[in-house]
Amino acid sequence: MTENKIIKNIDSNISNENSVNSEELELSNLKPEELIILLDQLIDNDNPFAVSKRAENIKALFYKSFNGLEQNKESEILEKNFKKIYNLFRKKRNDFRKEQEQKEKENLKLKTDIISEIKDLTSEVELKKDTYNRFRELQKKWKKIGHVSIKEKNNVWQMYNHYVEVFYDYLRLNKDLRDIDFKKNLDNKLELCKKAEKLLSLKSLNKMHEDLQILHEKWKDVGPVNKENRDEIWIRFQEASKKINKKRNDYFLDIKKKDQIKLAAKKEICEKINQLANKEIKSIKEINLSNKEVEKLSSQWKNIGRVNKKDNKLCWTEYRESLNNFYTKKNDFFKNRKDKNKNIIDLKIKLCEEVESLQNNTEWASTSKKIINLQAQWKKSGFIAGKLNDKLWKRFRSSCDFFFESKKNFQKDIDKKKIEKIQEKKNLIISLKKHKPTKNKDKEITFLKENIDKWKKVSLSPNMINLESDYKKLCDEFLKNLNLEKKDLEKEKTSVMLSLMGNNPKVLTKEKNSAKEKIKELTKEINLFETNKSYIVSYKKNNPLLDQINKKIIRLELEKNNLEKKLKILNKV
């Protein structure tokens, strides 16, 4: 590969390489106001192109910082000032570009003219010393001419270099003069090689890269050397350039590798934040724990550090989306909780009003059930944090306590009266048990009826049923001890029973039904014995079993008659 082609490839590689964005690290900690001041200082730079990348970095960092600010009038003024200064810088850069493009066109014209002149020199039949002097003048003139456009740069240089080499190859001047020129060019290129080799010791990769480009430009301007040293000197310069480019490329590869590790770590954090955003939240405690975890993950994400500009933008987008997902979930939770709390508060207030309307009600049994039901509803109504919940609970509990305290006091009075009544009835039972009957049956019956009247005056309550039963049995025993006729005994028993029943329709109905059922049973039993009796009569006479059956039938019929009489009396009541 010729020197011209290799230079072309190296220049192409150099121009396509990305420069290290060290400014971002330098500017990342500046506030928006400081970035505006820094951008304003760049306007005064004579070469806007030299600071153009820095200006764009300032713009990116400004809006990154600006987007994190609260949007208000102050932030609007801040952005307006930035845009004003940035537009001034951009206008100056555009004007400078137009001037440069015009100069590059003029320089291209001048260099094209010089190439044409050199070409014309090589076409002369006889080359004289004046011809060589003219060639040197054209070389000096070429070096003084500025840059041309990148598009034309290599082509024009290759044409120039080609015709310079043609001129030297066909030069018929004094060989010593040419050797002196070759020696001078060799010395200059050796110096450029040394300078290129020294660049490897520079710490700044940007500086090393920029200086190498300058050396390549100077190399192009140095004329050719003798053929013996031409390839050797170029290989040396090329090797130094390769080492510099390799060092720079290795640096970028290392950064790229580290960026991949950072990107993976940042992506993992974003996934964790998304998992927290998708997690079902049931309480404030859970949302607060998740929020702390997100803040912790966010801090870890920022501490990982920046990556390259292209991936950093995507990284930030993914990071903001994951945060937005979580904070949207958080906001929805508190919004729903606010609505839920309002419903809970409305329900609790309603329950307070309902229990307050019942607290003075003296229908103890039914009201107790209602209040207990309201208490169950309160338990299911839910919880709201804060003083309002305590205030509503105090209001609700106060009404409940008032009612149940009133009921308790009322029940105490009832229980006291019940105890007194029970004691009264027990005293009547004792007096009846201790009574010693006389022979005067009428007097004894009168005593019993007086005792029963006293008994009836003491009202009946559910827990006195056993006492009533005992008293009734005691009355029956009292009458049996009087040795009354069976007929009179049944009559008096019925009278006592009716007296004890009083006007209670339930007891009366119960006694009637009991008498009817007993009559039915006795009738069935009599009919059964009658059937058995007829069977016995059909086959045997003078059977003792028949006499026994007849006696049972007579007893059962007597009992049935007594019950029927009792039922008649009950029906008349």
Confidence of residue 315 (pLDDT cuts 50, 70, 90): confident
Confidence of residue 392 (pLDDT cuts 50, 70, 90): confident
- Amino acid letter, residue 516: K
Q: What is the mean pLDDT of residues 415-425?
A: 74
CA–CA gap between residue 158 and residue 112 (Å, rounded): 12
Residue 12's pLDDT is 41
Whether residue 463 has pLDDT greater than 70 = no
Q: What is the mean pLDDT of residues 206-215?
A: 88
Contacts (Cβ under 8 Å, ≥6 apart) of 482: 437, 441, 444, 445, 489
88-92, 146-150, 187-191, 484-488, range with the lowest pLDDT:
484-488
Whether residue 128 has pLDDT greater than 70 = no
Higher-confidence residue: 147 or 129? 147
SS3 458: coil
CA–CA gap between residue 11 and residue 152 (Å, rounded): 13
CA dihedral in degrees (272, 273, 276, 277; nearest 10)? -140
**From residue 265, how far is each of 1, 10, 272, 273, 567 by CA, in Å?**
45, 36, 11, 13, 100
pTM check: above 0.75:
no
Confidence of residue 9 (pLDDT cuts 50, 70, 90): very low
pLDDT digits (tens, 9 = 90+) for 158-195: 888 888 887 777 665 446 667 777 888 888 888 989 88
**Domain spans of the chain, in order of start:** 3-248, 259-333, 397-502, 505-573
pLDDT digits (tens, 9 = 90+) for 216-247: 888 888 888 888 888 888 998 899 899 889 88
Whether residue 445 has pLDDT greater than 60 = yes
Whether residue 66 has pLDDT greater than 80 = no
Residue 19's pLDDT is 42
Residue 2's pLDDT is 42
CA–CA gap between residue 149 and residue 187 (Å, rounded): 30
Confidence of residue 391 (pLDDT cuts 50, 70, 90): confident
Confidence of residue 546 (pLDDT cuts 50, 70, 90): confident
